[in-house]
Amino acid sequence: MLKIEQLSVQYQGNPQPTLHDFNLSIDKGGIVCIVGESGSGKSTVLKTIIGALPKKTQISGMIQFEEMSLLQQSVSEWQKMRGTVFSMIFQDSTAALNPIRKIGKQYEEYIRQHESVSSEDARKQAEAMLKKMQLRDARSIMDSYPHQLSGGMCQRIGIALAMTFNPRLLLADEPTSALDVVTQEQIVEQLLQVREQFSVSVLLVTHNVAMAAHMADRLIVMENGKIVDQGSPLEVITQPKSAYTKKLLASVPELKGAAYV
């Protein structure tokens, strides 16, 4: 479904590329997780795929999505694909949502931006999707402001928005880092259910190696814009090739002498 070859990205004013010769492949319905610390280049991968880099950024390499070269798309073509062909879940949906507008009005506007439907039909569609995300009191949520809802509820709303038009690729930028540990687990399980329910491919970036190992079919470890380890979660955990990966694994908390990854 998605194939990236020799992708390099250099922001204007930076002496060195943020991303060096990055390669990735995702099959239909697969989950690939990119792990690395802040500044490793993992979020740049997502921004490049969705066409959200600054204008004067230097990009080289290839991004092939279902026989289509994404780097050759115009701005208007990219805008048509965002939210329909591929969607994105942000790190903190509470901050991503408009704080002075109710959820319902924001959701209705989002649907009507992509589809010619009445406000009433858009509301029904939104409420149905919220229920699919295990938000049972959808009507009350639609009449609420973001600050009236918990972080976990806002993150589920973010997932609902992203899945409204059944995209084929879901990009997730550290979707659990702003949440408490219990809610993190609930969102991880929600994302796994979304993969099964919608047959969507998922590319997720995170600094949490334990979470990535739990979710991923394939795990990629990045350091300073380069891939230093990749393979199945079991391969990366039991046979790490780089010193950086070994340090990441060593940072996982232990319980009674055993590290639970």
The pLDDT value recorded for residue 62 is: 96
Distance CA 216, CA 61 (A): 25
Euclidean distance between the first and the last CA atom of the chain, given in angstroms as a whole number: 28
Distance CA 172, CA 114 (A): 21
The pLDDT value recorded for residue 257 is: 60
The pLDDT value recorded for residue 176 is: 86
Map tokens 């790490």 to a residue.
240
3-state secondary structure of 210: helix
Distance CA 60, CA 63 (A): 10
Domain ranges (residues) in the chain: 2-217+251-259
Q: In sequence order, which residues have a C-beta less than 8 Å from that of residue 197 and are 6 or more positions away? A: 132
Amino acid at 83: G
Q: Tell me which of 3.30.9.30, 3.30.230.10, 3.40.50.300, 1.10.357.10 is the CATH number of domain 2-217+251-259.
A: 3.40.50.300
Question: In order along the chain (261 residues), what is the average pLDDT of each group of 10 residues?
Answer: 96 92 94 92 94 92 93 90 92 89 96 94 96 92 95 92 95 88 88 92 92 93 95 93 90 66 56
- Integer-rounded Cα Rg, in Å, for the chain is 19
Positive or negative: CA dihedral 10, 2, 217, 195: positive
Taking the model in full, what pTM does it have? 0.91
The pLDDT value recorded for residue 259 is: 59
3-state secondary structure of 251: coil
Q: In sequence order, which residues have a C-beta less than 8 Å from that of residue 6 and are 6 or more positions away? A: 21, 22, 23, 60, 61, 62
The pLDDT value recorded for residue 148 is: 95
Q: At what angle do helices 181-198 and 151-163 cross, to 10 degrees?
A: 20
> At 81, phi and psi to the nearest 5?
-80, -30
The pLDDT value recorded for residue 98 is: 94
Residue 158, Cβ neighbours under 10 Å: how many?
Answer: 24
Do 222 and 190 contact (CB within 8 A), yes or no?
A: no
Q: Which of 165, 166, 162 is nearest to 198 (CA)?
A: 166
Residue 178, Cβ neighbours under 10 Å: how many?
Answer: 18
Residue 38, Cβ neighbours under 10 Å: how many?
Answer: 8
